[in-house]
A and B are shown apart, each in its own frame.
Chain A
Amino acid sequence: MTIDPQPEAVPVAGGPGAAFPAAPEGVSPDRSPWYLAYKRFVRNRLAVSFLGLFVLIVIFVLAAPIWADNVAHTGPNESHTLQKLRVGDEVREVVTPEGRPIGPQWFEAGGKFFLGADSRLGRDEMVRLMYGGRTSLFIGVVSGLITTLVAVVLGLLAGYYRGWVDAVIARILDVLWSLPVLLFGIALGVSLAVSGLQIGPLTIEGGSNWIPIFVISIFTVPYVARPIRGEVLALGEKEFVEAAVAQGAGPLRVMFGEILPNLASTIIVFFTLNIANNMLFEAALSFLGAGVQPPNSSWGTMISVGEELLTTQPLLAIIPGVMIMLTVLSLNIVGDGLRDALDPRSKVRLEAHAGMVEPEGASV
């Protein structure tokens, strides 16, 4: 693995077909590049297994209402402070008079309070874990979509038009990239949590999940946009682009018809890794109180709540953390695998690095 030493230089996929070198054994090289990539991916057993894990996690959180209604018989935000559980002959308090929440019951109470109660409000931790996961995944994926979309547009514009358009966009990206992201993320998240956001006709309430989505998207755009811009710049020099322009294709045709398809593999990889990155970022923000606001919960807020009770019920902090870790891990491995499958020669190496996707080379 190499970090390309030259600033700004991005070796990249060439024109159609050139991205994908020799087909894997047993597959005819006449097949489409996508099929070849698919085959390559499937042979990467590590990536496939973690893709499976990711799918399991998604199913787990999607099953939240099923568990809530049929097994736990409670919602994620319902508090049961004064409730008592009947387990066999024993009667257990969900929250003791001293404020200690009950520990994991596993299946003893028929699945209720499987992982115990969270905090003194006596809510079902398992149900909250599932619903919280939905929030975390939702925020991660949606902000990933927004980021990728914006990054692609910016990258295409900058790389195609070059000149002053490129200069302006590049400068903006540079400045955004140089900001201490976490500090700003928290500052913006905390302020907006109180006041909500109003851009023109669009109003977002202070406690809505769209605020963290907005904050996360803004700050991760540069990490995706800069490499894409670099690729578009390099692609723009290729003959097939010149040819299209000579044929009279307008800017939109060239950008979206010629360049974009060649970015496809990069975009796919980035999108996957970006989701992982966003989930970590959201968890960090929520942990510090600047992301998801109560009573909504995400895995990040659950860790924050659990940390207070660390000495009495450590599971409350550890389990959501492990869930985040497994999800992000799966996405990272799958992203790695996608990159290997789609572009094995690529020297562009990226990983979601605890909140910072690696830029290739160092430069502003």
Chain B
Amino acid sequence: MVRFIVRRLIGMVIVLFVVSVLVFLIFNVIPNSPPAQRLAGKNATPTLVKSIEEEWGFDESLPEQYVTMMKKVFTNELISYSPRVSVEDRIKEGIPATLSLAIGAGLIWLFWGMVLGYIAAVRAGGWLDKFLTGFAIAGVSIPVFLIGPVLIYFLTYKIELLPNAGYVPLTEDPWGWFKHLILPWTTIAILSIGFYSRVLRSNMLDSMNEDYVRTARAKGLSERQVMLRHVLRNSLIPIITLFGLDFGATIAGTALITETIFSYEGVGYYAAESIAKLELPPIMGVTLYGAFFVVAINACVDIAYAYLDPRVRLGTSAA
């Protein structure tokens, strides 16, 4: 078990290293706009450009620049080119917003997915079951940037029910925080509620035919107790692993699009902005942060799973 964890951690480090190298290469090897020229501005002289190159170290060799940049990442000195602000500070400021968005949406889709999935499993074949199937596949097929604008149009413009952009910190104004988050939460949750309910439903239906369930019924437990205590519990395990993966993917991807649509200033918004500007320091910062989240959550999920799966925990199979 310990070996397993250690191996996963080493894997994490390797992935982060590869990510950092790839990002660095993408923005240095692909010719686009050299930052020194960009900083020099619209009325520059060659002397100015050269001075800027020296000031920022753009005249060093690529490996040297990479090492310098990585050092800055670890000492919290990563600064974007223009405006000259600390990347890590901006990311830290954006994290509460992004986490509010991702965790909230995640809980919503998990909760509703479970509730609806449970009902659908219990009343398999009923109209809810069929509706959920349709809803699930539809949810998975709709692009986020269709739902978002549709919600914005109808609920903030046609009917001025909710604000259409921005983030209000929870500590500042809880009701405002909530109001600003409803639409982004809905946008993200719609994609997954149907899917998760279907996953739970089929897990439960499969479990319901297992031997241990028949035993429980034979023992005299009520149908409800059987469902809750045995079937549901066992069906949840794969859901947790799925949720872990999806949550990581949300932070690293879906949140970015949603934040852009709603002008919601979290890390995803900052990422989209920086990428559009081809600014390497923030991109490096945000990508490492995103990759870290994804990899860390995957590792946690794997470790949790390995723990729950007695075969791995007892070391009887190579993971």
A and B touch in the complex (CB under 8 A): yes
* Closest chain A residue, CB of each to CB of B146: A321
Task: Kindly state whether residue A192 has any CB partner on chain B within 8 Å.
Answer: yes
Size category of the A interface is 35 or more
Known contacts A283-B143, A329-B141: A182-B252 contact under CB 8 Å: yes
* Closest chain A residue, CB of each to CB of B312: A7
Task: Kindly state whether residue B1 has any CB partner on chain A within 8 Å.
Answer: no
Known contacts A7-B302, A174-B11, A318-B150: A187-B238 contact under CB 8 Å: no
* Closest chain B residue, CB of each to CB of A178: B15
The 8 A CB mask of B237-271 against A (1 = contact, 0 = none) is 11001101110010011101100110000000001
A288 touches B140 (CB 8 A): no
* Closest chain A residue, CB of each to CB of B149: A317
Q: Which stretch, A86-94, A114-122, A346-354, touches the partner chain B?
A: A346-354
A178 touches B298 (CB 8 A): yes
Task: Kindly state whether residue A203 has any CB partner on chain B within 8 Å.
Answer: no
Which residues does chain B contribute within 8 Å of A183, judged by CB atoms? 252-253, 256, 271, 275, 286-287, 290
How far is the CB of A100 from the nearest CB of chain B, in Å?
Answer: 16
Task: Kindly state whether residue A168 has any CB partner on chain B within 8 Å.
Answer: no
Task: Kindly state whether residue A249 has any CB partner on chain B within 8 Å.
Answer: no
Do most interface residues of chain A lie in helix, strand or loop, or is the interface mixed? Answer: helix
* Closest chain A residue, CB of each to CB of B242: A3
Known contacts A322-B146, A362-B302: A187-B291 contact under CB 8 Å: no
How many pairs of A and B residues are in contact by the CB < 8 Å rule? 198
* Closest chain A residue, CB of each to CB of B18: A175
* Closest chain B residue, CB of each to CB of A1: B202
How far is the CB of B316 from the nearest CB of chain A, in Å?
Answer: 12
A355 CA / B248 CA spacing, docked (Å): 13
Q: Which stretch, B23-31, B41-49, B54-62, touches the partner chain A?
A: B23-31
How far is the CB of A175 from the nearest CB of chain B, in Å?
Answer: 5
A289 CA / B275 CA spacing, docked (Å): 10
Task: Kindly state whether residue A284 has any CB partner on chain B within 8 Å.
Answer: yes
The 8 A CB mask of B137-160 against A (1 = contact, 0 = none) is 110111111100110110001000
Which of A1, A191, A351, A353 is close to B278, meaning CB atoms less than 8 Å apart?
A: A191
How far is the CB of A305 from the nearest CB of chain B, in Å?
Answer: 12
A322 CA / B138 CA spacing, docked (Å): 11
Which residues does chain A contribute within 8 Å of B15, judged by CB atoms? 174-175, 178-179
B145 touches A284 (CB 8 A): yes
Known contacts A5-B309, A190-B275, A310-B149: A325-B143 contact under CB 8 Å: yes
Which of B140, B141, B149, B295 is close to A303, meaning CB atoms less than 8 Å apart?
A: B149
A332 touches B141 (CB 8 A): yes
The 8 A CB mask of B184-227 against A (1 = contact, 0 = none) is 00000001100100110111001000000000000000000000
B290 touches A362 (CB 8 A): no
Task: Kindly state whether residue A276 has any CB partner on chain B within 8 Å.
Answer: yes
How far is the CB of A134 from the nearest CB of chain B, in Å?
Answer: 18
A195 touches B30 (CB 8 A): yes
* Closest chain B residue, CB of each to CB of A50: B137
* Closest chain B residue, CB of each to CB of A318: B150
How far is the CB of B300 from the nearest CB of chain A, in Å?
Answer: 10
B153 touches A311 (CB 8 A): yes
A182 touches B256 (CB 8 A): yes
Task: Kindly state whether residue A34 has any CB partner on chain B within 8 Å.
Answer: no
| Other 12 A-B pairs with CB < 8 A, given A191-B32, A362-B241 | A1-B203, A179-B294, A188-B26, A289-B276, A318-B146, A318-B149, A362-B242, A362-B244, A362-B245, A362-B298, A362-B305, A364-B302
Chain B positions near chain A (C-beta within 8 angstroms): 8, 11, 14-15, 18-19, 22-23, 26-27, 30-33, 137-138, 140-146, 149-150, 152-153, 157, 191-192, 195, 198-199, 201-203, 206, 237-238, 241-242, 244-246, 249, 252-254, 256-257, 260-261, 271-272, 275-276, 278, 283, 286-287, 290-291, 294-295, 298-299, 301-302, 305, 309, 319
25 interchain pairs (CB within 8 A)?
A: A1-B202, A5-B237, A5-B305, A7-B319, A175-B18, A178-B291, A178-B295, A180-B287, A182-B254, A183-B275, A183-B287, A186-B256, A190-B276, A194-B30, A283-B143, A284-B257, A288-B257, A288-B276, A307-B261, A321-B143, A321-B146, A332-B140, A354-B144, A356-B253, A358-B242
Q: Which 9 A/B pairs are nearest by Cβ-Cβ distance?
A: A321-B146, A1-B202, A180-B252, A182-B253, A329-B141, A180-B290, A328-B141, A3-B238, A191-B30
